[in-house]
Amino acid sequence: MMQYMKAIRATLTTSQPVITEDEFQTMFYKIDDLHEVHTEFLNELKNKTSQLTSNGDIYVGEVFKKLASIFLLINIIYISVKIVILYYINILGWSYTFIWCIFT
């Protein structure tokens, strides 16, 4: 995924970009953060799978629990931001476009 992102990003400064800057930001929103989380997950998983217990078992549940807790936190933040956006739209009458400009 990262190589595709870099290749597409490189075209943005050319005379014929593959996509617009806005499309790029939408397509690859937070991809660096997601890549970091998954790289850490993979490294921890590799580390755990190299550790056998005395009876030959491998326990990887903690690694998955940690990943799940990260995604739960991300979901909570997403929902919180969505509530704030809906508040501004419904209560204060702000336009979605105006709010998008503030939060991005």
Is-contact 24 9, C-beta < 8 A? yes
Is-contact 28 5, C-beta < 8 A? yes
Is-contact 48 66, C-beta < 8 A? no
- Identify the pLDDT of residue 19: 87
Q: What tens digit of pLDDT does each residue of 5-63 get? A: 888 899 999 999 988 888 888 888 888 888 888 899 999 999 988 887 777 777 888 88
- Identify the pLDDT of residue 13: 92
Structure tokens given for 91: 């209560």
Does pLDDT of 97 surpass 70? no
Residue 60 CA, distance from chain mean position: 23
Binned at pLDDT 50, 70 and 90, residue 101 comes out as: low
